[in-house]
Amino acid sequence: MTNTPIGSVPPQNQTFPLPGSAGGSGALPARAAAVSVQPMQPIVFGFGRLGDMVMLSSVLHLLHQRFGRSCLVVGAGPWNSGLFQGHPDVERVLSFSRHMPFMLSPAWWQLLSALHRVRPGPVYVCERSPRQLARIRRMLALSGIESARCLFIGDLASEGEHWVDRYLQLGRLTPPAIGAADYPFTSGKPAPRLSVSDPERVERDAWLQARGWLGRKLVLLQPGNFRTMSRRRDEWRRRKADDKAWPVENWVSLVRRVLDALPDARVILCGAPQEGALLHEIQLSAGSSDVVAAELSLRQLLALSESGHSMISVDTGPAHAAAALGLPLVVMFGAEPQHVWLPRSPSGSPVLGLGGPPDSSRVDQIPVDAVFNAWRSLER
């Protein structure tokens, strides 16, 4: 994220330049005077990981309200389609590979069509990674889209703010090419929000019923993060370098204390299939039939989060998803600051953060007692 000052508004007939060329900073204009307007579809670019995209859902809701039509989301990574499946603020998702050239993807031609429809909408670029941002700029340049239709989050002087607040700040602005319309937005403080369908609830309840767990308190634990899914051979070295990794023995101790405090509870160790080895290691060490290692799809995780009692997690995408569904939550932070990354809940459910600068720089510096006590305080 750069701290680029807001510059002048580019002329409306100027097309978006290729990366490295002059101009096209995506300058942010002031809001214009209100007039009666027809709905148009916002196009929102975000090439972040799961947690980034969950936080992005806050601005999707805002833009849906402002422009009167649900958004087209352009992302990178296989999680985007599942994350926004059935989402009321998303009409369609176009998802690219994070590594493959984008012009080789069928989504590229769909994006070109969307950018050049009869009534084109505003383009909001909510990406901070220099590499991914360069890809987005090239997409816009090759499509011939005028820069005055585009706004960039990198042009906001908002360094140090929470990412949700940055997204909302961008969403309250209107690109100059849209015209003199002041598209209204509601007051208040929107937050990330996700949805679960009725068929997914039925599937979840059947899964719990088959294990005799339906109606029991479900405490979800999320020990892994995206680094956990790495297939590096040197497992010890990988874990040592991961500031979000909490020792297995800490998880085992925490599991036992949770079950002692809530004897009727069931502990579900959550993770993607790539995290299965870590989950099963904790389960076997805990030595209890009330603990299960669940290798979940994203939609299954969302359904469980909606009905769970609470979650304890490292700073990772599923923690943001849980908060967006109103699950009370404790999050352990490593090198990232809480004031920028702490998950937010649309319902006001409690989200407690532990660690992170200036208190600590690694999750393994957080003691089990602190995590357990924070979790117990969720019920107060």
Q: Are residues 149 and 276 in the same domain?
A: no
Q: Are residues 244 and 147 in the same domain?
A: no
Asked if residue 185 is part of any domain, the answer here is no
Q: Are residues 203 and 323 in the same domain?
A: yes
Asked if residue 238 is part of any domain, the answer here is yes
Asked if residue 74 is part of any domain, the answer here is yes
Q: What is the CATH number of the domain that holds 163?
A: 3.40.50.2000
Asked if residue 26 is part of any domain, the answer here is no
Q: Are residues 143 and 213 in the same domain?
A: no
H-assigned helices in 23-162: 50-67, 79-83, 106-115, 130-143
22 vs 316 pLDDT, higher one = 316
Q: How many Cα atoms occupy the beta-carbon half-sphere of 182 within 13 Å?
A: 8
Q: How far apart are CA 255 and CA 324, in angstroms?
A: 24
pLDDT at position 188 is 62
Question: Does residue 364 surpass a pLDDT of 90?
Answer: yes
Alpha-carbon dihedral of residues 360, 362, 364, 369, nearest 10 degrees? 30
Q: For residue range 30-39, what is the model confidence (pLDDT) as tens digits?
A: 333 333 467 8
Q: How many Cα atoms occupy the beta-carbon half-sphere of 69 within 13 Å?
A: 17
Angle at which helix 368-377 crosses helix 248-261, to 10 degrees, equals: 40
As a whole number, mean pLDDT of residues 131-140 equals 93
Question: Does residue 17 surpass a pLDDT of 70?
Answer: no
Residue 157 pLDDT class (50, 70, 90 cuts): confident
Q: Do residues 163 and 55 make contact, with C-beta atoms less than 8 angstroms apart?
A: yes
pLDDT at position 30 is 37
160: containing domain: 43-178
Asked if residue 309 is part of any domain, the answer here is yes
As a whole number, mean pLDDT of residues 263-272 equals 94
Asked if residue 16 is part of any domain, the answer here is no
Q: Are residues 222 and 356 in the same domain?
A: yes
Q: Are residues 51 and 161 in the same domain?
A: yes
Residue 159 pLDDT class (50, 70, 90 cuts): confident
Asked if residue 160 is part of any domain, the answer here is yes
Q: Are residues 342 and 306 in the same domain?
A: yes
H-assigned helices in the chain: 50-67, 79-83, 106-115, 130-143, 163-171, 198-210, 235-241, 248-261, 276-286, 298-307, 317-324, 338-341, 368-377
Q: Do residues 154 and 128 make contact, with C-beta atoms less than 8 angstroms apart?
A: yes
Domain boundary among 130, 150, 178: 178
Q: Are residues 144 and 86 in the same domain?
A: yes
Cβ neighbours for 372, distance < 8 A, ≥ 6 positions apart: 254, 257, 258, 261
Structure tokens at 78: 């296989």
Question: How many CB atoms lie under 10 A from the CB of residue 313?
Answer: 27
Tell me how far CA of residue 257 lies from CA of 43, 217, 250, 369, 371, in angstroms: 47, 15, 11, 10, 11
As a whole number, mean pLDDT of residues 345-367 equals 95
State pTM to two decimals. 0.86
Share of the chain above pLDDT 70, in %: 83
How many structural domains compose the chain?
2
Residue 50 pLDDT class (50, 70, 90 cuts): very high
Question: How many CB atoms lie under 10 A from the CB of residue 236?
Answer: 7
As a whole number, mean pLDDT of residues 248-258 equals 97
Q: Are residues 56 and 170 in the same domain?
A: yes
Residue 183 pLDDT class (50, 70, 90 cuts): low
Cβ neighbours for 298, distance < 8 A, ≥ 6 positions apart: 50, 79, 82, 83, 321
Question: Does residue 21 surpass a pLDDT of 70?
Answer: no
109, amino acid identity: W
pLDDT at position 28 is 38
Q: For residue range 312-343, what is the model confidence (pLDDT) as tens digits?
A: 999 999 999 999 999 999 999 999 999 999 99
Q: Are residues 174 and 268 in the same domain?
A: no
Q: Are residues 75 and 142 in the same domain?
A: yes
DSSP calls for 321-332: HHHHTT--EEEE
Q: How far apart are CA 65 and CA 184, in angstroms?
A: 8
Structure tokens at 46: 């975000």
Residue 263 pLDDT class (50, 70, 90 cuts): very high
Asked if residue 319 is part of any domain, the answer here is yes
CB-based burial label for 165 (10 Å; 0-12, 13-18, 19+): middle
